[in-house]
Structure formats: C-alpha cells, structure tokens
Structure 1
Amino acid sequence: MTHQKTATLLRIAAFFLTAVGIAMVIRRTLAIAGLIPSFNPSGAAPFDGGFAQHPVLTFMHILPGMLFMLLGPWQFMPGIRSRYPLFHRISGRIYIICGYIVGASALCMPFIMLPIGGVNEAAASILFSIFFLICISKAWWHIMQKNIAAHREWMIRAFAIGLAVSTVRPVIGLFFAFSGLPPQVFFGTAFWIGFTLHAVVAEVWINETKP
C-alpha cells in the first residue's frame, strides 16, 4: 500500500475516532446532567457514577478533550497548512493548550476517582498521561525552535495518544461481547490495548514518512 493510500486511511480513521470521542463526551454530559440513564451492566455500579461525583474535574477533562479531537485532524492536512497558515497557527496553539488541560486532568483522575479497572487501569492512565504531556511539551518546544520535522513527529504522537480513548471503547465492547468477564477485570486491559496500539501506529507512521 502506498503512503498516500495509508495516509488517506489514517485520516478516515482519525475522523471516525473523533466522531466516536465527541459522541462519548455528549453521552457522558447528558448522563451527568441526569437526562439519560448511566450505563449499568448486570446491575453493577453505573459507569458514570464517579464522574458525576466530580463534575468539575470531569468537564475539565472531556470538554477540552472534545476540542482537542476536533482540531487534531486539521493540524495534519497539508492543504490547510498552506492555504490557511493563520488558522493553522491559532488552532495549533488552542490544540496544545487543550492538550495540557486534558493531560493534567487525566493524570489527576486516578488519584481522585476510583477507576473501574482498579490499579491496572490507573497505571495505564498515569503512564500514558505523562507520555502525552511529554509529547505536547516536545511538540511546543520544537516549533518554538523552528524544527518543523521534530514538531510534526511529536504532534503525531500526542494526537495518537489523545485519540486512543476512542479506540478503548470498542475494545471494551468486544470484552463485553465475548469475554464474559466483569468490567472490573478487563477495563484496565482495554486501556493498555487501546493506548499501546495507538502509540505503535504513531511510531510506525513516523518512521515510514521520515524525509
């Protein structure tokens, strides 16, 4: 498969996962507001219960996260960069600011809320939150140094990790459908699978497209 076809498939996947992420934010917002019931499999504790107990932290995480996912795909479209450089620069700054808010709030969440997947989920969240913040910081540093190639690489890593939460949900769905295990057992594993998969795909694409 050529790079052009692969790039097209990755853009389609990015827009699809962005749509999944936006749907997740809308659903969680409605659940916290009490407008729709929280997901409650097999009579277990509602998934949105912990988020509803900490709405400020939750909205600090999901609302900038939605903006991060919306702006992300446009950062990697050459036509946007060349035709609308001012939009690219301004949206890029908003993207990075949102990234810091998302990463910092994600890092705090396991210490404030009880993760559904326990220590396993908390470990994945903490590790990839730190890595995500490093990616955002490196992307910002390199663009300030006018190192466009390095900036691009760290932006790809940041976007891949930020978008991984949208992949975690289908993985969780597969566990529900086929494993027969309670969510407390497989939630952490689903987080590791989703985030690791995105990190690997990002590295492969970076190495395949280096000048």
Structure 2
Amino acid sequence: MTDHAAARPTRSPGWVPFALVAVVLVPLITGSLRLVELAGGPHVMPANPRITASPVPVVVHIVCAVVYVILGAFQFSAALRRRRTGWHRGAGRVLVVLGLAVAFSALWMTLFYPRQPGGELAYMFRLAFGAGMAAGIILGFSAIRRGDVAHHRAWMTRAYALALGAGTQAFTQGIGEAVFGAGELNTALMLGAGWGINLAVAEYIIRRTRRARTKEAA
C-alpha cells in the first residue's frame, strides 16, 4: 500500500489529453495560420472578406479556442485531478471564461457576419450548438458551486465536446463532400454530424462513468 501511494505522484497525465488535442489538430493549425495572417504575416489561407472586415471576433474566438481545448484536455486526466486538486480548480475557473468567450464569439459571428456556407440549416445548427456550449459551461459552473461534482463533470464534458466540433467536422465534411458532393444541404448536415458525434461520445462517457461509480458504491 505504501509503495503504491508513493508511486502515484509520478504517474503521467495519460493518453486522454493528447488524444483530445489530436482531434482538433487541423483547426488548431488553420486557426494559427489565420492569426499569423491577421498579424501581417504571409497569406496562406483562402481569402475571407468576413474576417478581414471585422477581425476582432475571429481573433478572440481562435485564441480562446486554442487555449480552451489544450488546457481543457488536461482536465480529463484523472491522475492530474487526484494529484493537483488546486491546479484543477484554478484551471477550471480560467476555462469557464475562455469557454464562454469561445461560445459567445461564435454566436456573434453567426449572428452578425454575412451568412457562412450551409444555408439556413447550418445557421440554426451554429446558433443551437453555440448556445448549447455556453449553457453547458454555465450549468457546469453552477453545479460545482453547489458541490454537485457529478453534474459538473457531465455538463463540462458536453461543453468541451461541442468545442471539439471543428475537429470532427474536418473529417465529416471531407468525407461528406467526397461521397455526396458539395452543396448547402450536405455542408449543413456534415456540420451537424460533427457536433452530434461528439455529443454522442460525451453522453456515452458520462453514462459509463456513472455506472462505474454506482458499482463502486454498491
């Protein structure tokens, strides 16, 4: 027992945080290239008049999203939560602010930028899932303030899953266009599929964790 306890502090965060970051590697790279472009660097991304006309929301969205998905990934490390409770709580407060900035900047761009590809259905998806991410963060924060750890983890997991949507959409849109061709309806459906897949995985993890904890308590 003593040897096991002594060995625990040396445990690594595990593979989960790195797998989560890998999901959004493509949008992390493209977002970083867009920031370099907006800062006056070389133009390697396709021109986007919406961004050049009003770059501030995009900068806020990209910067906050990059930090949110990377820092947030390590909140899912059980080893880190056990070993560094203070770090988990402090990082969590920062993530609430970052996550809300990501969600609200996405909603702002959806509402006030010229319409993006995908038509009305994609517009509704962006509003619904952006609002859902913000709601998940607020509900998760409210739950931990009440001391309700289970619901806190569940809501924060859902919010993080929605934040990873851009990563999954890089695959769903690529596959969708290859199989069904380009078009507004296909674009909208593949966008929705990205968010939907992530939410389905999140719900599976939440339910599996609840069942495991119920068995441990029995």
User: What is the TM-score normalised by the length of structure 2?
Assistant: 0.82
Alpha carbons 1:21, 1:66 under 8 Å: kept: no
Larger C-alpha radius of gyration, 1 or 2?
A: 2
In the TM superposition, 1:32-181 aligns within 5 A as 32=38, 33=40, 35-39=42-46, 46=47, 48-113=48-113, 114-181=115-182
When structure 1 is superposed on structure 2, of 152-161 and 76-85 the one drifting more is 76-85
User: What is the TM-score normalised by the length of structure 1?
Assistant: 0.84
SS in 1 for 2:191: helix
When structure 1 is superposed on structure 2, of 18-27 and 128-137 the one drifting more is 18-27
When structure 1 is superposed on structure 2, of 8-17 and 52-61 the one drifting more is 8-17
Q: Deviations over 1:156-201 (max 9, x none)?
A: 111111111111112222234333324x443222210101111111
What CA RMSD, in Å, does the superposition of the two structures yield over aligned residues? Answer: 2.0
Alpha carbons 1:21, 1:69 under 8 Å: kept: no
In structure 2, C-alpha distance between the alignment counterparts of 1:86 and 1:10, rounded to whole Å:
20
The AA in structure 1 aligned to 2:132 is F
Paired residues, number: 196
Q: Which residues of structure 1 form unaligned runs of 5+?
A: 1-7, 40-45
SS in 2 for 1:209: helix
Q: Which residues of structure 2 form unaligned runs of 5+?
A: 1-13, 214-218
The AA in structure 2 aligned to 1:121 is A
Distance 1:62 1:76, change over 3 A: same
Q: Structure 1 stretches (4+) deviating beyond 4 angstroms?
A: 8-12
Equivalent in the alignment of 2:8: none
The AA in structure 2 aligned to 1:59 is V
Equivalent in the alignment of 2:21: 15
Alpha carbons 1:103, 1:129 under 8 Å: kept: yes
Equivalent in the alignment of 1:27: 33
